């Protein structure tokens, strides 16, 4: 399906949701809600470790490589990305990607066939399986987490307080997490895990969220104490609430 910025995205029958916002557009959403704010929040470094939740069509991973090649070509990227849907990954060799990704043909083919890609600058690993299990392997590793699962209402297991606790453990203390979700339940789940919450705002896209344990300079902080005091009944999603769902 063609999204509004001219890039194609896909629709999941299982989750009854598109892989990207069709209004913002797949390519644009990836840049403005994930890649650019994460890049702006980090000090430049020789190697950046990224957890991409979840791989889906791979826009976040591919946009990241494109962006770093232009803005920080010497940085080595190591990207780790879980994905449950094996058939989807196999099918990606035939997906109609935007022309900006033409340079990544070899990477797309390798990932689609072997789930990993490596060269001097780049390591990418797609883990075929459950993100909840996968993230337990990592500790104090990631500079950036792209939280881009299907929505909290259709895929709640990737938005609970316990999930974000595990995510926090995978991250370096100065790491940043980006997400399109502005739901208070999501923000509380992060806040109760000691994340500070920031607005990712722009004129031509829907506002999104950035979370970090460190203070960020370039973004407006969300006053969580105030929000919680105005919405006393709102609680984060919890694993225990999802046992029968
Ligand atoms: C919104 S899409 C991700 C879009 C992706 N970031 C992109 O740029 O194309 C969400 C993905 O999460 C995957 N998924 C859902 N539950 C999962 C789980 N528990 N573990 C791993 N992947 C999961 C779905 O199969 C789907 O591909």
pLDDT digits (tens, 9 = 90+) for 171-227: 999 999 999 999 999 999 999 999 999 999 999 999 999 999 999 998 999 999 999
Closest ligand 1 atom, residue 9 Cα: 9
What's residue 65's pLDDT?
98
> How far, in Å, is the centroid of ligand 1 from the Cα of 22?
16
Among protein residues, the one whose CA lies closest to atom 22 of ligand 1: 83
If one residue of 14, 147, 149 were mutated to test the ligand 1 pocket, choosing by the most ligand atoms within 8 A of its CB, it would be 149
For the cut 90, the answer to whether the pLDDT of residue 167 exceeds it is: yes
pLDDT confidence tier of residue 7, bands split at 50, 70 and 90: confident
Residue 185, both tokens: 């339940």
What's residue 237's pLDDT?
97
Tell me the C-alpha distance between 79 and 144, whole Å.
Answer: 9
If one residue of 19, 26, 54 were mutated to test the ligand 1 pocket, choosing by the most ligand atoms within 8 A of its CB, it would be 54
What's residue 50's pLDDT?
98
What's residue 44's pLDDT?
83
> How far, in Å, is the centroid of ligand 1 from the Cα of 32?
19
Spell out which residues line ligand 1, taking CB within 6 angstroms.
19, 30, 54, 56-60, 82-85, 88, 130-132, 148-150, 155, 158
Tell me the C-alpha distance between 157 and 32, whole Å.
Answer: 25
What's residue 31's pLDDT?
97
What's residue 157's pLDDT?
98
Tell me the C-alpha distance between 162 and 189, whole Å.
Answer: 8
pLDDT confidence tier of residue 45, bands split at 50, 70 and 90: confident
Q: Is the separation of the CB atoms in 162 and 239 below 8 Å?
A: yes
Residue 102, both tokens: 């033409």
Q: Is the separation of the CB atoms in 227 and 219 below 8 Å?
A: no
The pLDDT tens digits of the residues spanning 48-91 come to 999 999 999 999 999 999 999 999 999 999 999 999 999 999 99
> How far, in Å, is the centroid of ligand 1 from the Cα of 87?
12
What's residue 244's pLDDT?
65
Residue 99's contacts (CB-CB under 8 Å, 6 or more residues apart) are none
If one residue of 16, 59, 60, 83 were mutated to test the ligand 1 pocket, choosing by the most ligand atoms within 8 A of its CB, it would be 83
What's residue 6's pLDDT?
80
Residue (of 54, 214, 222) closest to 149 by Cα position: 54
The mean predicted confidence, pLDDT, of the chain is: 95
Residue 167, both tokens: 């995510």
The pLDDT tens digits of the residues spanning 80-121 come to 999 999 999 999 999 999 999 999 999 999 999 999 999 999
């Amino acid at each position: 399906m063609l999204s509004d910025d001219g890039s194609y995205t896909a629709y999941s029958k299982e989750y009854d949701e598109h892989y990207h916002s069709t209004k913002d557009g797949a390519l644009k959403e990836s840049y403005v809600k994930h890649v650019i704010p994460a890049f702006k929040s980090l000090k430049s470094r020789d190697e950046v470790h990224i957890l991409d939740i979840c791989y889906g069509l791979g826009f976040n991973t591919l946009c990241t490589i494109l962006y770093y090649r232009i803005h920080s070509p010497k940085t080595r990227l190591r990207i780790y990305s879980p994905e449950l849907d094996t058939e989807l990954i196999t099918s990606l060799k035939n997906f109609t990607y935007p022309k900006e990704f033409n340079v990544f043909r070899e990477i797309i083919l390798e990932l689609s066939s072997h789930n990993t890609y490596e060269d001097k600058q780049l390591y990418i690993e797609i883990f075929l399986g459950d993100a909840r299990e996968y993230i337990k392997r990592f500790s104090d590793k990631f500079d950036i987490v792209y939280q881009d699962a299907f929505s909290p209402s259709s895929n709640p297991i990737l938005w609970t307080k316990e999930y974000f606790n595990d995510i926090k453990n995978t991250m370096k203390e100065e790491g940043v997490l980006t997400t399109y979700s502005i739901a208070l339940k999501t923000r509380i789940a992060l806040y109760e895990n000691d994340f500070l919450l920031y607005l990712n705002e722009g004129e031509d896209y829907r506002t999104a969220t950035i979370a970090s344990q460190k203070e960020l300079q370039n973004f407006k902080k969300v006053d969580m104490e105030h929000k919680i005091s105005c919405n006393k009944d709102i609680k984060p999603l919890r694993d225990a609430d999802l046992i029968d769902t």
